[in-house]
Amino acid sequence: MLSRKAQAINPSPTMTIDSKAKEMKNQGVDVTGFGAGEPDFDTPAHIREAATKAMNEGHTRYTPAAGTPEIKETICNKLKTDNGLEYKPNQVVVSNGAKHALFNALAAIIDPADEVLIPAPYWVSYPELVKICDGIPVIVETSEVNKLKTTAEELEKYCSGKTKALILNSPHNPTGQVYSEEELRAIAELCREKGVYVIADEIYEKLIYKQARHVSIASFNEEIKDLTILVNGVSKSYAMTGWRIGYTASTPEIAGAIAALQSHTSSNPNSIAQKAAVAAMQGDQSCVSEMRRAFDERRRYIYERITAIPCLDALEPEGTFYLFVNVANTFRKSYQGKEVSTSDTFAQFLLESRKVAVVPGTGFGAPDYVRLTFATSMENIEEGINRIEAFTGDLR
Ligand SMILES: Cc1ncc(COP(=O)(O)O)c(C=O)c1O
């Protein structure tokens, strides 16, 4: 018999659609995939070389459970340079990707029945991670008027005596929106007033476009910094999703709890990947700008093409590599006699008929939307949009 906890957890829908598309591809079907949540670029050469060197020099044994002194020092320098934040190495814990870091953060502060505010749309794993930690996800509605971003006023309505934390993601997956400094300051003030922790997921920090600027909520004052568990990593910025290096920065007390927890669950993250991540963070950053430039070009193209399709609308992304597309105008239309009733059926019919994989918004708490990634080649984007256009043209 499975535990009640295991039974309550849903598998990640983004991974599900991605594996379905990959399975179809393996069977020889010509699928255009907009599902993946990872850069299509290879990890830059100097990072791969650092890993080879690490292996050859014998960095193949256990490291301290919370990461090597070298990587923790490197992360402290990064946080100082990029975010104006002073952390000491004992405040940093390096984990197996940002997802693991998020789990650790929640496990360190959540008691049974504690409430965690999660603005919707949200990254699919947040509610599940909260449930795994015996907390209660409290989904906070947002509006299109504010580009699906939450506000301090809205959040306050959802605060109760049991509110322990807020999970805040900027730049945001799946909407591609970036919170302004002013918006973050208001949210920080509310959290400070209420004594609510902020789990700040900044994994897309370096993927921002146009005038958008990334500001860390922890940077406003010491009080909000003490309430913040900052989560970041190298997966998205350096095309290192498979290497599994993420981290938290928090108070020494929380970091100590996270380190103890990790020492009994996974021990250290991969020793070679730690060396590679050090090379990524310390090395020449032009690889990041090059990838960002390519993403930006695709971003402009995909946004223009999709919003030109009559029954589709989208928020212009300011960050990440996602376009969040409102497909509600296709609902109640039919495809070969079958009604498009939700974004799930939209995605299903699109995959079946035109072999295009998109992620339905249901798993993100946004059933009127589908998510398209532009972390795929221009050629794929062009072909995929042609097919989406043809599909929407077939709807009656
Ligand atoms: C918002 C957000 N946070 C965290 C992660 C996890 O990152 P990692 O691959 O480092 O575990 C992702 C990955 O898709 C993400 O989109």
Q: What pLDDT sits at residue 8?
A: 87
- Residue 376 pLDDT class (50, 70, 90 cuts): very high
Which pLDDT does position 369 carry in this prediction? Answer: 98
Q: Which atom of ligand 1 is nearest to the CA of 100?
A: 11
92: CB partners within 8 A, 6+ apart: 66, 67, 72, 75, 76, 247, 248, 249, 255
Distance of alpha carbon 39 from alpha carbon 288, whole angstroms: 11
Any idea what DSSP says for residue 383? H
Task: Read off the pLDDT of each residue in 124-137 and give the average, rounded to a whole number.
Answer: 96
Q: What is the pLDDT of residues 184-223, one digit of tens each?
A: 999 999 999 999 999 999 999 999 999 999 999 999 999 9
Atom number, ligand 1, closest to the C-alpha of residue 234:
10
Q: Which of 17, 99, 118, 266 to mutate to test the pocket of ligand 1 (most atoms within 8 A of CB)?
A: 99
Q: Cα(173)–Cα(204) distance, rounded to whole angstroms? A: 8
Q: Which of 203, 204, 324 to mutate to test the pocket of ligand 1 (most atoms within 8 A of CB)?
A: 203
Name the DSSP letter for residue 204: T
Mean pLDDT of all residues belonging to the chain = 96
C-alpha atoms less than 13 angstroms from C-alpha of 331 in its C-beta half-sphere:
11
pLDDT per position as a tens digit, 244-299: 999 999 999 999 999 999 999 999 999 999 999 999 999 999 999 999 999 999 99
Binding pocket residue ranges, ligand 1, CB within 6 Å: 37, 97-99, 123, 169, 173, 201, 203, 233, 235, 241, 246
Query: Per-residue pLDDT tens for 358-374?
Result: 999 999 999 999 999 99
Instruction: Report the alpha-carbon distance of residue 195 to residue 217 in Å, rounded.
Output: 15
Q: How far is residue 185 from each of residues 54, 146, 158, 272, measured CA to CA in Å?
A: 42, 16, 18, 38
The residue to mutate among 18, 123, 124, 126, having the most atoms of ligand 1 within 8 angstroms of its beta carbon, is 123
Q: Which residue's CA is the closest to the ligand 1 atom numbered 13?
A: 37
Supply the angle between the helices 13-26 and 343-354 in degrees, to the nearest 10. 10
pLDDT number for residue 15 = 66
By the 10 Å C-beta count (0-12 exposed, 13-18 middle, 19+ buried), 73 is classed as middle
Cα-to-centroid distance, 370 and ligand 1 (Å) = 18
